[in-house]
Chains A and B, each alone.
Chain A
Amino acid sequence: MIQGHRNPFGKALRDYTVAELDFVLEMAALDDPEHYSFSRAGAKDAPAAAMTGWVNVLREPLKQRYLELIGVAQGIRSVAAWQARATGGLKPGFSRKTPPADGPGG
């Protein structure tokens, strides 16, 4: 019980961990974004904004080198590879372990 209030659905408020309370507050902020906002300490989006800033001002080929350096280029390639696999890759009845038709086992 905290300040005379009791949580009727579970344990007392003081027994929740900080992470659990953060989760509740975050969900509440998502439910009512006009009135509430939630941001985790130390997890501000400033670094991401700065990263975008550099991506916006750098032109090729410098931009590509920068994307490689911060790892974004690898991420983009991975997503493209995943999309290629998801759309044009394996067919029903086949698996990655199936030897290719013109391979040594085909």
Chain B
Amino acid sequence: MSDILKDSFTVKDSTGGEYSFKIPSIVFDMQVSYKAAEIRRRAYPDGGGALGSIDFQAVQFSRYCAFLELYLLGANRLWPYGLADDAIEKLDPKTQPAVNFEKFPVTSADLVYEVGGAFEEAYAQFRRPGDPDKRPPGP
């Protein structure tokens, strides 16, 4: 019963970071595809977001950034919000939290892969209706 009411899930990284994500809807594949293309365009405007001449790692990185920008609800780490984790004193309460991959600290690159991979793994469970313990939340 609890799964039906569930609207988010949490993944962990290897450093003790916890990240809660909104459970994606049926349009997940399309949302992520467009967002990842937009991210590639922002990172490298000349490429126009096209997949043609980029390597697998760039594709994967842009997808993982898209997961964070689209679905992250909260974390016990500040890097998704563009701040170093020991910089909470510098957090300006007057600003709104926003996830923008362009502001991720360079030290968070590996964490993006780690959290993105954990997200994919967790999300796959919601798409697999066979296991009664891992039934999708919606009808």
Binding site for B on A (CB under 8 A): 46-47, 49-51, 53-54, 56-63, 65-66, 69-70
Contact = CB atoms under 8 A, between A and B. Distances in A.
Given A65-B88, A66-B88, A69-B89, A59 B94 contact: no
Nearest to A61: B76
Contact of B76 (A54, A56, A59, A69): A59
Interface of B: 18, 20, 73-78, 81, 88-89, 91, 93-97
Given A47-B93, A50-B96, A57 B81 contact: yes
Interface of A: prevailing SS: helix
A70 B96 CA distance: 15
A65 B91 CA distance: 11
A59 B75 CA distance: 5
A46 B18 CA distance: 28
A58 B76 contact: yes
A51 B94 CA distance: 6
5 contacts: A50-B95, A54-B93, A57-B74, A58-B76, A59-B75
Contacts of B96: 49-50, 53
